[in-house]
Amino acid sequence: MSWRSGLRKFPRNMASAALVDSNVFISLTRHRVDPARWLGSRFEDIYTCGMVRLEVLRGMKNPRERDAMAAFFNVLCHVQTDNKLWEQATELGWELDRRGRTIPAQDILIAACALRAGVPIFTADKHFENIPGLTVIPFPNP
């Protein structure tokens, strides 16, 4: 089964909302699948944060595609990263480290954003499952 046919298994409107991790955007664009169309048919509200935007846009080579993706990010529900969120992410990272669960700092920040918004995270990264209180919607890693 091809990766594209595997994508068709995801039901439309599978959740009302989710914060979409950068690896989902990157996988979709690498496989020439329009993230706006594909994600828009599966979620009523799509959340993002500055860290996801940074991770996705910094790696895009084609300026026109990068501009289109930036425009898409501009219309998503954006979780602000104020000082309070940084404090929450720092505390979360500290607690996870004490439990022996080392997670990249950028993913701790992304998780804190999803927790703040009260939405699950749609991701291919399994380590998000180690974050207490965070619901994970798994995305297949091709």
Map out the domains of the chain as residue ranges. Answer: 3-138
Residues 12-52: pLDDT tens digits? Answer: 555 699 999 999 999 999 999 999 999 999 999 999 999 99
| 8 Å CB contact between 93 and 83 | no
φ/ψ (deg, to 5) at 77 = -70, 120
Give yes or no for residue 4 having a pLDDT over 60: no
Element (H, E) at 136: strand 136-138
Residues 74-94: pLDDT tens digits? Answer: 999 999 999 999 999 999 999
| 8 Å CB contact between 57 and 66 | yes
CATH of 3-138, picked from 3.30.460.10, 1.20.810.10, 1.10.150.120, 3.40.50.1010, is 3.40.50.1010
Q: What is the pTM of this model?
A: 0.88
Token pair recorded at residue 8 = 């068709």
Give yes or no for residue 56 having a pLDDT over 60: yes
Determine the 3-state secondary structure of 50 from DSSP.
Answer: helix
Q: How far is CA 17 from CA 25, 114, 118, in A?
A: 16, 10, 9
Which residues partner with 77 through β-bridges?
A: 47
Question: Binning pLDDT at 50, 70 and 90, where does residue 140 land?
Answer: confident
Token pair recorded at residue 118 = 């009260």
pLDDT mean across residues, the chain: 90
Element (H, E) at 141: none
Cα–Cα distance measured from residue 138 to residue 6, given in angstroms and rounded to the nearest whole number: 13
| 8 Å CB contact between 25 and 49 | no
Quote the pLDDT of residue 27.
Answer: 95
